Every structure is written in C-alpha cells, then in structure tokens.
Amino acid sequence: MAATTDSVKADASEAPLLNKVNLFAGLMLYLVFYSFIRWYEGIYGWSAGLDSFAPEFETYWMNMLYIELVAEVFIASSLWGWLWKTRDRNVMSITPREELRRHFHHWVWLVMYGWAIYWGASYFTEQDGTWHQTIVRDTDFTPSHIIEFYLSYPIYIITGVASFLYAKTRLPAYSEGLSLMYLVSVLGPFMILPNVGLNEWGHTFWFMEELFVAPLHYGFVFFGWAALAVLGVVNTEVDALTKLLKKDLA
Amino acid sequence: MSASQSAVRSRAEAVQVSRTLDWMILFTLFTVILGGYHIHYMLTGGDWDFWADWKDRRLWVTVAPIVSITFPAAVQACLWYRYRLPFGAVVCVLALMIGEWINRYLNFWGWTYFPVNFCFPSNLVPGAILLDVVLMLSGSFVLTAVLGGMAWGLVFYPGNWPIIAPLHVPVEYNGMMFTLADLQGYHYVRTGTPEYIRMVEKGTLRSFGKDVAPVSAFFSAFVSVIIYFLWHFFGRWFSKTDFIDGEGV
C-alpha cells in the first residue's frame, strides 16, 4: 500500500491488525457458557441444591464441582504452557507493524479478562448474596459457591494469567522486567480464591448466617481493590502505543 | 520498515487504530472497574443496598456514600491527571449500577424471587455527576475532595428520596406500626439473614427526631471528604507504570 494513500485497508495478503473473529468469539463463548450455567443454577439450585446430604446433591452439584476442577487444571496448564512454549525468543527484532498487531491481540486478551472479571466478581458474587441470604447452608460447597468460587474465579484467573503471559512473551514493551501493576492486577484478583479458605473457615466455625458486610468478608474487599491496577496497565499500554503510532509514517 | 517508522501506513489508519483501541480500553476499564468496585461495595455496604427494609434514615445514609466514594476518587485521579478526562466518577458509578441492576433482576428476582421494588440498588448517579462537574470546572483535586466529596455525601439521601419515600410511609400491621419497607421484609423471609442481623435505626440519635437523616448525611459527607483524599492517592499509586526487576520474583 502506498504511503500517500488515505485508505485504511490492509494488504490483501496481510493479517488484519485486529482479529475481530477472535474478539467476538471470545466474548460470545463466555456469554453462552455463563448463560448455560445460570440456567443450570435456576433448574438444579432449588430442586437438588438445598440438602447436601441428599443423593441428588452429589449427582448434580458435587459431580459438577469435580468436573470443574479437573477441567480448570487441564485448561490452565495447557493454555499457559502453550503460551510459554511458543514464546518469541527474538521479541526485540519484530517490525513496528507486527508489534502493533500483537498489541491488538493483547487487547483481545485484556477484553476477555475484563469480561471474565465481570462475571466472576460482579455477577456471580452478588448472586451469592441473594442465595445465601435466602437459604440456609449446610455445606461449604453450596450451589452458589460451586459456581462462584470454583468456576467463575478460576476462569478469570486463567484468563488474566494468560493475558499477562501473552504480553510478557510477545511484546517488546514487557520483555524486560515485570510490570508492577500488571502483576497486581492479575495476582490481586487471584488472591480472592485463596481467601475463600478464610471465608469458609469463618462460616463453618462461628457464623452460619449471611451478612455481606461482615468483617469476615473484608479479605475479598482488599484483594478486589487490586482491580484498580488495570489503570496502570492501561497507562503502560497507552505509552507503548503512542510511541508506535507517533513515528514517521511508512 | 525501520525502527523510526510508524506501525501504521496513513493518518487515516492511525485514527482508526486509535479509535478501535479506545473502545477496547474503555470496555476493559469498564468491566474490570465494575468487578472491583462491585465486590468492594457489596461487601462493605451491600446489605443496605440490597434490601428496601435496610434502607433506613441512619445507617444506610451514613455507610453507603462513605464506602462508595472510593473507586470514583481513584479513577478520577488517573483519568483526569493523565488524560484530562472528566468522567471518572460517572464511569465507575454507571459500571457499578449496571452490574447491580443486572443482578437484582436476573438473580434477586430471577433466582430467589424477591420483587424488584424490594431489592433495587441505591442511586449514586447524582453524586457522581457532581463529583465530575466540580473536577471539570475547578481542575483541582483539593476542591473536588472538599466540595465534591461533601456534595457526594449530602446529595445521597435526596437523590434516593423519590425512590424510597413511598416505602417509608407508616403502616399498622397486627397492632404494630412500622414502615412499608419493614412489612416487605416481614413477608419476604430471608432465612439466611435473620431479623436480629438487620442493622437499622440503631443508637440514640432518634432523640433528635426528624433530624436523623440530615445529621447522618452531614457526617457521611465529612467522612467522604477524608476517604476521597485517601483514595485519590490509591488511584495515583495504581496508575504507576513502573517495572520491577524480574530476578527473585
């Protein structure tokens, strides 16, 4: 393409800067999957999820938990392993255009991380409030927890770490050192999952009721603040992209 | 293409790339802030926000503004300081309220069958607009903290009054007088959150009679100013672009 044209179309043989198929397929994947999960909760929460000693609870909820855990370990190790195994060992030698294309890929990952954070930290966490304020729990592994803690949280963790690994292994801007805010924005929300240990311990030993503002829950709050580190990630990205876009036109 | 060359081939493409990235950045910022702000708010002021019979004249008015000014202050610190964008507070509040409304409808109503007029979220939009307008007009974080933070706390109850007033009218039921909101809570039983857990109208402030809500709002406004300052610096810290040495991490 001539440098003098104002056309924004890329060469026919060249891959597009933004792979829109990946972007929309990713968004739809989570939307459709979580819509199915919400349907499952609606059907089997009331019919099979109230008594953890009932056989149907084992069938519909504990088996779901076991499947989730195995699938998450498999997906996390496969995805993270693949990203690391296929890393670019000459990342500093790529062209500016390839670097921009990778930034767009990176932003697809970040969009997916934001989308996964929404489902985990907002949708399924507040949903947990109405479920546990309505029913009386007789187990740590309630229908709400099996979805919230052991499905939606691992999914955003897997997505966030994958996003971080993509940036670290394929973008020159992240190749030297570790972005502090990127680490915080991934590790902080990750720590919400281990904090479940405190939550369950407290609810098991002294607090069966569900008061959402109880100090027992403040660990979740503290680690939720780490989401603000996305501001630092945005700033880092804007700095890198500004450098890429402000050079002389080819 | 040399290292000094641009990654784009025309100014038009540069503009298109920039706009596309704007939307992707905004979506990510919106959803991540939504998640962080929502989990913070639901676990520090959520019970007052969930249920109409928790929305009293005292603790709801006191707690909700104090815990909710946090993320708007932090996001304003970044978006205004770095980009001169005067909508940090509104972005936060819109994100939070979209997350809340989806939840109240699909889950509080859709899964556990509480009517929406019993579990609607508090309205934080008037305070957010004031906070952003003060920052935009003054360009000063100190004025925004003092005037905007004060306005954030003071406007909360009036901003919610048209919604909550019909539920605060007194009713007599089995010889007892309480509010319509209390009656809703009496009929829509939350087994996991018994009545002895509900924190409403506590303390001796009732001796001042009608002044309960204004005094609570004023105290809330005072603390909101302090919280704004604190969270402004949180926002500045979270906006850093520092890299650390990977050795030993």
User: Token digits for A6?
Assistant: 């104002």
Q: In Å, how far is A11's CA from the nearest CA of chain B? A: 11
Check A126 against B38: CB less than 8 A apart.
yes
Task: Give chain B positions within 8 Å (CB) of A178.
Answer: 243-246, 249
Q: What is the mean pLDDT of residues A125-152?
A: 95
More confident residue, A249 or B96: B96
pLDDT band, residue A178 (cuts 50/70/90): very high
Task: Give chain B positions within 8 Å (CB) of A42.
Answer: 110-111
Task: Give chain B positions within 8 Å (CB) of A226.
Answer: 36
Reported ipTM exceeds the 0.90 cut: yes
User: Token digits for A211?
Assistant: 């008061």
Check B10 against A6: CB less than 8 A apart.
yes
Interface check B20 vs A, CB under 8 A = yes
Check A230 against B28: CB less than 8 A apart.
yes
Residue ranges per structural domain of chain B? 12-238
Helix (H) or strand (E) holding B179: strand B176-179
- pLDDT recorded at residue A5: 42
Quote the CA–CA distance of B78 and B3 in Å, as a whole number. 30
pLDDT band, residue A208 (cuts 50/70/90): confident
How big is the A-B interface in CB pairs under 8 Å? Answer: 267
- pLDDT recorded at residue B6: 79
**How far are the Cα atoms of A68, A88, A122, B31 from residue B144, in angstroms, in the given order?**
47, 46, 28, 25
Return the bridge partners of B244, or none.
A178
Nearest to A111 among B27, B36, B193 (CB): B27
pLDDT tens digit string along A14-54? Answer: 888 999 999 999 999 999 999 999 999 999 999 999 999 99
Whether residue B127 contacts residue B70, with contact meaning beta carbons closer than 8 Å, is answered with no
Q: With H, G, I as helix, E, B as strand and everything else as coil, classify residue A179.
A: strand
Structural domains for chain A: 20-86+93-245 (1.20.1050.50)
Q: With H, G, I as helix, E, B as strand and everything else as coil, classify residue A19.
A: coil
Check A226 against B36: CB less than 8 A apart.
yes
The nearest alpha carbon in chain B to A242 belongs to: B18
Q: Is the pLDDT of residue A6 over 70?
A: no
The nearest alpha carbon in chain B to A119 belongs to: B35
Name which of B18, B26, B32, B92 to mutate to probe chain A: the one with the most chain A Cβ atoms within 10 A of its Cβ: B32
Residue given tokens 């509900």 in the structure block: B198
Helix (H) or strand (E) holding B244: strand B243-244
The CATH number of domain B12-238, selected from 3.40.50.300, 1.10.268.10, 1.10.238.10, 1.20.1450.10: 1.20.1450.10
Name which of B236, B241, B249 to mutate to probe chain A: the one with the most chain A Cβ atoms within 10 A of its Cβ: B241
- pLDDT recorded at residue A184: 95
Task: Give chain A positions within 8 Å (CB) of B192.
Answer: 132-137, 209-210
Task: Give chain A positions within 8 Å (CB) of B235.
Answer: 228, 231
Quote the CA–CA distance of A83 and A102 in Å, as a whole number. 13
Interface check B240 vs A, CB under 8 A = yes
Helix (H) or strand (E) holding B6: none
Q: In Å, how far is A228's CA from the nearest CA of chain B? A: 6
Whether residue A132 contacts residue B192, with contact meaning beta carbons closer than 8 Å, is answered with yes
Q: In Å, how far is B168's CA from the nearest CA of chain A? A: 23
Q: Give the whole-number percent of chain A exceeding pLDDT 70.
A: 93
Q: Which of A130, A168, A127, A174 is nearest to A147 (CA)?
A: A127
Q: Which of A72, A42, A225 is nearest to A162 (CA)?
A: A72
pLDDT band, residue A245 (cuts 50/70/90): confident
Helix (H) or strand (E) holding A221: helix A218-224
CA atoms within 13 A on the CB side of A30: 24
Torsion sign over Cα B47, B52, B56, B57: positive
**How far are the Cα atoms of A174, A180, B114, B243 from residue B246, in angstroms, in the given order?**
11, 10, 51, 9
Interface check A18 vs B, CB under 8 A = yes
Residue B99: partners with Cβ closer than 8 Å, 6 or more residues away: A118, A122, A123, A126, B34, B35, B38
Q: What is the mean pLDDT of residues A207-228?
A: 93
Name which of B28, B101, B105, B119 to mutate to probe chain A: the one with the most chain A Cβ atoms within 10 A of its Cβ: B28
- pLDDT recorded at residue B203: 73
pLDDT per residue, tens digit, chain B (249 aa), is 455 677 888 888 889 999 999 999 999 999 999 999 999 999 999 999 999 999 998 999 999 999 999 999 999 999 999 999 999 999 999 999 999 999 999 999 999 999 999 999 999 999 999 999 999 999 999 999 999 999 999 999 999 999 999 999 999 999 999 999 999 999 999 999 988 999 998 876 566 667 788 999 999 999 999 999 999 999 999 999 999 987 767
- pLDDT recorded at residue A229: 96
Check B192 against A209: CB less than 8 A apart.
yes
- pLDDT recorded at residue A7: 43
